[in-house]
């Protein structure tokens, strides 16, 4: 059967850097809610692997059902697109989630976050060494500044003993995150972002379902209530929040942003996520916000702004 290219290849929009930056920052804000919404769930007895199964599995089912009902043409895939979709789902969805959870369970969370967000450096190296694209010095300086700010936000000096497996998992999460941006940048140029995210989420759900099968999830626990700021919501409601506000919407926004921004720029702007996550944890979970974290946030955002300022010279 022949599939018409127009059915699966939307017209590429004219790149709009400011719109792309807004989409990345909006996705970072939504992604940052995952820790605040997910931490009470895991403290109640749901393991990190089970939380990943709930998050990605339910998101994949909702996206697949909604897209099939309202935009079925977005699900059509040409044979040559399957390898990219499979790797995108494996790395960009399943890999980033599982490896970060493993790292955070074995090494200090601050260092796990820093390793996870090394993706801008890895992407810049890929673009320079593999694509042979020369990046402006100001962009390298902005990336270095942003990473230094991230180190302060993550408070990487906490904890001395570092588990080798945890370090490798953290670095693996950074590699998967870099793959998410690079593969997404390539794939979104030729197909609808909704179809890309839907198939990526379904493939990612299949992978995490092998690590933590759905029948191992303590489903009755979802009816229990947990403290969340001044409220006492059921765990299931927090899980739904993670699925919608921390997964479905931000994935769609960040992939759409790659139509307007190159991967090196989008990944650096995405560093706003840990800053926002720290602020939300302070506001809703009463977690302390120290002066080095505040200083780091300012430095990080300054570095991101420097990268955005030089983004027009990157293709």
Q: What is the pLDDT of residues 181-211, one digit of tens each?
A: 999 988 888 788 999 999 999 999 999 999 9
Domains identified in the chain, total number: 1
- 87 belongs to a structural domain: yes
Instruction: Note whether residue 51 is domain-resident.
Output: yes
Write the DSSP string, the chain.
Answer: -PPPHHHH-PPPPPP-HHHHHHHHHHHHHHHTHHHHHHHHHHHTT--HHHHHHHHHHHHHHHHHHHHHHH-GGGG---GGGHHHHHHIIIIIIIIHHHHHHHHHHHS-HHHHHHHHTTHHHHHHHHHHHTS-PPPPHHHHHHHHHHHHHHHHHHTTTS-----HHHHHHHHHHHHHHHHHHHHHHHHTTTS-HHHHHHHHHHHHHHHHHHHS-GGGS-GGGGGSB--BTTB--BHHHHHHHHHIIIIIHHHHHHHHHTTTS-HHHHHHHTTHHHHHHHHHHHHHS-----HHHHHHHHHHHHHHHHHHHTGGG--
pLDDT at 196: 94
Reported pTM: 0.83
- What range defines the domain where residue 305 resides? 16-214+231-313
Asked, for residue 100, whether it belongs to a domain, the answer is yes
Position 7 in a domain: no
- Whether 2 is covered by a domain: the verdict is no
Q: Is 219 a member of any domain?
A: no
Point out the residues of the chain with pLDDT beneath 70: 1-15, 108-110, 158-162, 311-315
pLDDT of amino acid 239:
96
Domain membership of residue 240 (yes or no) is yes
Residue 225 lies in a domain: no
């Amino acid at each position: 059967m022949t599939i018409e290219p127009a059915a699966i290849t939307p017209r590429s929009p004219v790149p709009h850097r400011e719109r792309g930056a807004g989409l990345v920052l909006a996705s970072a804000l939504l992604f940052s809610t995952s820790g605040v919404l997910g931490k009470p769930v895991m403290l109640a007895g749901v393991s990190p692997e089970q939380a990943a199964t709930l998050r990605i599995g339910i998101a994949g089912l909702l996206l697949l059902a909604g897209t099939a009902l309202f935009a079925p043409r977005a699900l059509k895939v040409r044979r040559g697109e399957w390898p990219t979709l499979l790797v995108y789902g494996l790395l960009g969805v399943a890999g980033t989630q599982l490896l970060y959870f493993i790292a955070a369970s074995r090494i200090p969370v601050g260092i796990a976050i820093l390793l996870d967000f090394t993706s801008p450096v890895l992407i810049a190296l890929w673009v320079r060494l593999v694509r042979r694209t020369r990046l402006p010095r100001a962009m390298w300086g902005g990336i270095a500044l942003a990473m230094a700010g991230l180190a302060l936000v993550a408070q990487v000096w906490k904890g001395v003993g570092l588990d080798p497996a945890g370090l490798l998992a953290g670095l693996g999460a950074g590699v998967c995150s870099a793959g998410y941006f690079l593969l997404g940048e390539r794939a979104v140029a030729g197909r609808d972002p909704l179809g890309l995210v839907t198939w990526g989420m379904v493939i990612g759900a299949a992978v995490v379902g092998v690590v933590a099968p759905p029948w191992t999830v303590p489903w009755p626990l979802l009816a229990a209530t947990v403290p969340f700021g001044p409220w006492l919501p059921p765990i299931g409601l927090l899980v739904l929040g993670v699925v919608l506000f921390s997964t479905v919407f931000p994935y769609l926004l960040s992939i759409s942003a790659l139509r307007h921004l190159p991967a090196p720029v989008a990944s650096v702007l995405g560093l706003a996520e840990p800053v926002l996550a720290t602020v939300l944890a302070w506001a809703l979970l009463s977690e302390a916000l120290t002066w080095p974290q505040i200083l780091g946030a300012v430095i990080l955002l300054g570095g991101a702004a420097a990268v955005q300022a030089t983004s027009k010279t990157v293709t």
